[in-house]
Amino acid sequence: MAVPNAKNKRKARRPHESPKLKIPQIFSFIDNPIETLQTIKKLETLVVPASVKELRIDHSSCKKLDLCASAVMDVTLLQAQNRRRGNQLDLRGVYSDDVDVNMMLRGSGILKQIAHPDSILPKAIEVTIRTCDLFSGKASRIERSRKCDEAATKLTDYFNKCLRMEKFELSRSGKFRLSSLITEVIGNAEEHGGHWYTIAYFHQSEDELGHCHIALFNFGRTISESLLEGAASEELRSRIDSLIEKHNERGFLRSLLHPTWEEEALVTLFALQEGVSRLSFTKKGIDRGNGTVNMIEFFNQLAGGSQRMCLISGKTYILFDGKFDLKKKVFDNGEERRVIAFNRTNSLEEPPDRDHVRTLPLGFPGTIISIRFDLDRSNLEKLAKR
């Protein structure tokens, strides 16, 4: 592997030069999902031909880098290297002009994954950073794996270290709750099949504001595919079919007014509601909640309004930015459950705000959860007094 070389930035293009992957100005699933997915797709095509011996990754235009986008790119590269075996791909690159982008690249990006010497940061910078290294697993059965529990413990301990940098820490109940939520989220990913990955990165800036990134993603069935598979109960499928029918009857799906509102997005949004899983309305799923939204809500409380978090599953994009929250709702049968519908009425029978839930023109073969927020001491002090 070659060291990223900023001097390469202005070299003249050579005949038959190696393919180059240009990283966009905003490489973030949260803020720029379409261009970010396009970049990942392009990377996948560039690393397939065995004739390609070298790939140049150019971050020179990148001004904003999110951990999840960087990690998915890294995993794509690592998977390609594993497939190539003896025919390894030589990686070259160009740094960004942005200090924070380069810090993440060196501290938690591909250089860190391949243990490149350039990933070693100066001591003055290293003390401002906390990382939870890339960790992965894959369930051989539906039952929760040991790696799932290990990942939850690693992430919980990591987050506690981040809080300690701000002079706080999780209570015993807070540790248990966060670990349980992460375990449930990863457990869901295992049920979807394929490998899952976790990674986290924290940087404390000069003003002592902590910038936290957490990413969980898996390759396999999407949330909607998993919910609709054969194991789903008849009552669950009936509820989903009824909801789809109502949206069709009212002309919401794929309409001129709602061009990015499609059936997959509706099913995915339904799956995020409290108590819904493919095991809902069966004995196995009777007490099951929803870890994904609950985990995001957990970090929302700590973020104090700074949060920008997203979920991408297949072609469905859902943004959590604090504008819409889980709220208790009483249904016609007297049942009370928390709902987040991303619209003014908080009704799943209405289309969501298109800035928060929409269908993308291309998708991800699995599910991504990208979390980014700040830890502000003044907000943490308020929470500690409750």
Q: What pLDDT shows up at residue 14?
A: 45
Q: 164-215 pLDDT, tens per residue? A: 998 999 999 999 999 999 998 998 888 777 799 999 999 998 877 899 999 9
Q: What pLDDT shows up at residue 376?
A: 85
What residues contact residue 109 under an 8 Å CB cut-off, 6+ apart?
70, 74, 119
The Cβ of residue 218 has, within 10 Å, a number of other Cβ atoms equal to: 28
Range in 3-17, 197-211, 222-236 with the lowest mean pLDDT: 3-17
pTM for the predicted model, two decimal places: 0.90
**pLDDT greater than 70 at residue 2:** no
* CB 122, CB 99: distance < 8 Å: no
DSSP state of 62: -
Q: What pLDDT shows up at residue 271?
A: 92
Contacts of residues 340-348 at CB distance under 8 Å and 24 or more positions apart, as own/partner, are 340/272, 340/273, 340/293, 341/269, 342/269, 342/318, 348/243, 348/269, 348/270, 348/273
* Phi, psi of 327, rounded to the nearest 5 degrees: -135, 145
Higher pLDDT, 121 or 368: 368
Q: What pLDDT shows up at residue 335?
A: 77
Alpha helices in 56-171, H assignment, sequence order: 67-84, 99-108, 110-113, 123-126, 146-165
Q: What pLDDT shows up at residue 278?
A: 53
Encoded amino acid at 198, one letter: T
What residues contact residue 370 under an 8 Å CB cut-off, 6+ apart?
28, 29, 30, 66, 67, 68, 69, 213, 215, 309, 310, 311, 312
Quickly state the pLDDT bin for 286 (edges 50, 70, 90): very low
Q: What pLDDT shows up at residue 275?
A: 76
**pLDDT greater than 90 at residue 112:** no
**pLDDT greater than 70 at residue 15:** no
Please compute the mean of the pLDDT values over residues 22-42 and round it to a whole number. 98
Quickly state the pLDDT bin for 115 (edges 50, 70, 90): confident
* CB 258, CB 354: distance < 8 Å: yes
DSSP state of 207: T
Higher pLDDT, 15 or 209: 209
Tokens, residue 248: 């069709």
Q: Which residue in this structure is represented by tokens 């030589």? A: 90
Q: Is 196 left (phi over 0), alpha (psi -120 to 50) or beta?
A: beta
